[in-house]
Amino acid sequence: MKRRSFIQKSAAAGSLIGLSGVTMSALSLKAKKHITILHTNDVHSHIEPFDKNDPKFPNQGGVARRMTLIENVRKENPNTLLLDAGDIFQGTPYFNFYGGELEFKLMSMLKYDAATLGNHDFDNGIDGLYAQLPHADFQLLTANYDFSNTLMDGHTKPYNVFVKDGVKIGVFGLGIALDGLVNKRLYKETKYLDPVEIATDITQKLRSSENCDLVICLSHLGYDYKDPDRISDIKLASLTSGIDLIIGGHTHTFLEKPTIVQNKDGQFVLVNQVGWAGVNVGRIDFYLDDANNIESQATVIEV
Amino acid sequence: MTSICNKYYWILLLLPLTFLCCKDAGFKPERIKGEQLQVDQNIQENQAIVDYIAPYKKSIDDQMNSILAYAPVSLSKKDSPYNTAIGNMMADAVFEMANPVFTSRTGYPFNAVLLNYGGIRATLNSGNITTKTAYELMPFENEVVVVELSGATMKKLFNYLAQGTAHPIAGMSLILNKDGSIKEHLIQGEPVVDNNTYFIATNDYLQQGGDNMTFLTNPISKLTLDYKVRNVLIDYFKKYDTIAPMRDKRFIKLEQ
């Protein structure tokens, strides 16, 4: 895999570098921070590895191996967040027999911090999802599903702010339009709200009121579509501002490396997705510096 | 000229802000690195997780491996054009197993079945048929839905089928001329009458316009049976010792 670096400078940085020596020298700068994000999407009840004769993914995946991988990364950097972009359910008999109980229990054992909901997470209906909530020891984040007239009311949050080593990481969730994808009898009175509007409002809130240093969107909208009008992660990235990373799902897209998209303000956003069935785990490392250290206004992206 | 102005502008604006916001300014990424980690055999399994999964796995394996029927020959949806033994079996199973459920609710039977070729998700291998076979053939949770269609809409259905894909059908037949035009289309052995309505069993995926079967999306009436297609197959396999369906003439294209 060929690595590329992208360097982004803010408009103001160039003119202020000369100044920083004067203004900053008297202030003590905060220590540098390292935050690791691990992520999965569309695991689809793939609890065991694929068969060794599987034509596509021989002997790949498996929750027991994922646990080892995650533990190793956490040993290396305890300031790690583990996130999932939805479609946890459906795809193997584990779901058909246990309705998602084992999927949620294992994700809790792996200490997932948060997940968003995919369309298949409604496959046993709102009631079926609700019934598994006691097994989920992690946050379910979704900002654009209005559950107020359903059993799920109050059991999800639009976003959560995680604090790791003093760094505030705002994570919010976005789901796909359910109409036409999921039987209405299953999602019932769940209302789908416009993801761009919601993302704009939430990002604003996370940046201004919650003072987040990083903003991550967990999305089940899908990576990219031929239909230019259809909302996707790539489109969301370009239509919003203030998001650092979009972790996607739904389209089961295998990306060799995260895609870099310019947002509404010309800033870089990373969009990533790691296929499906737990055959890969995505890893994004953020190295952060004191925001007052104007010398570090440039961001280097290595992918 | 403009650039100089901009510089002054930024200095003026940011200088006081820099002091004001020092307490809460927080952190800013200076370097971001992205990579993909493969989950493969080079990673040792966590034993606690393996042990936790074990009883679930055993229970599933026991149930999945229970033998329901026997298949003397292997069947694939690629065996023949227009209609296949495996597709006929699936459509016939829906006709036979779901019709009593529908009749018990309505007092009358449905007339025909339409499934989709893409919905046959695996081959049926010769030998023992187990619960697992049904899961492989039909891994999705789709359930049987019966729609009431006008005679005019039925003609759209036949025109759709005339495109040639071997979508499984039961209770209706379609014969295409050599040039692909429709020679004959019958439902329960009778021609379609425009003023009649017909009850067609399908699955909820297709009813919602899946595979572009848009003629199913606005039926005159609709009844969902709460009967999953997979359970139809399981019940059908339990009912018969031997599963040996045949290709027949329900959907064919004439050679000349």
Cα–chain center distance at A68? 21
H or E element in which residue A199 lies: helix A195-208
Q: Which of A38, A209, A292 to mutate to test the interface with B (most CBs of B within 10 A)?
A: A292
Nearest to A183 among B29, B53, B204 (CB): B204
- Please determine, for residue B14, whether its predicted confidence score (pLDDT) is greater than 70: no
Residue B25 in contact with partner chain A when CB distance is under 8 A: yes
- The answer to the question of residue B43 being in a domain is no
ipTM metric: 0.91
pTM of the entire structure? 0.78
- Please determine, for residue B122, whether its predicted confidence score (pLDDT) is greater than 70: yes
- The answer to the question of residue B85 being in a domain is yes
Domain count for chain B, please give it: 1
Pairwise CB contact (< 8 Å): A64 & B53: yes
Q: Which two tokens stand for residue B128?
A: 């023992």
Contact predicate B144/B98, CB 8 Å: yes
Pairwise CB contact (< 8 Å): A64 & B37: no
Pairwise CB contact (< 8 Å): A16 & B10: yes
Least Cα distance to A79 among A169, A160, A161, A165 occurs for A165
- The answer to the question of residue B7 being in a domain is no
Least Cα distance to A176 among A127, A225, A109 occurs for A225
Chain B: residue whose CA lies nearest to A91: B139
Contact predicate A201/A208, CB 8 Å: no
- Please determine, for residue A262, whether its predicted confidence score (pLDDT) is greater than 90: yes
- The answer to the question of residue B26 being in a domain is no
Q: Considering just the CA atoms, what is the radius of gyration of chain B in Å?
A: 29
- The answer to the question of residue B19 being in a domain is no
Chain B: residue whose CA lies nearest to A122: B141
Phi, psi of A213, deg, nearest 5: -90, -30
Region label for A23, one of left (φ > 0), alpha (ψ between -120 and 50) or beta (otherwise): alpha
Cα–chain center distance at B162? 21
Question: Helices B47-64 & A63-76, crossing angle to 10 degrees?
Answer: 160
Region label for A81, one of left (φ > 0), alpha (ψ between -120 and 50) or beta (otherwise): beta
Pairwise CB contact (< 8 Å): B35 & A109: no
pLDDT at residue number A70? 98
Helices (H), A111-194: 125-132, 184-187
Q: Which two tokens stand for residue A138?
A: 């992690």
Cα gap B83→B173, rounded to integer Å: 10
- Please determine, for residue B1, whether its predicted confidence score (pLDDT) is greater than 60: no
Nearest to A288 among B27, B36, B41 (CB): B27
Q: With bands split at pLDDT 50, 70 and 90, how would you rate the model's confidence at A9?
A: low
Q: Which domains does chain A have, with CATH numbers?
A: 3-302 (3.60.21.10)
Domain span including residue B170: 63-246
DSSP string, B106-117: HSS---EEE--G
- The answer to the question of residue B22 being in a domain is no
Chain B: residue whose CA lies nearest to A7: B31
- The answer to the question of residue B149 being in a domain is yes
- The answer to the question of residue B41 being in a domain is no
Tens digit of each residue's pLDDT (9 = 90 or more) over B137-173: 998 889 999 999 999 999 999 999 999 999 999 999 9
CATH number (domain holding residue B123): 3.90.780.10
Kindly report the nearest CA distance between residue B139 and chain A, in angstroms: 7
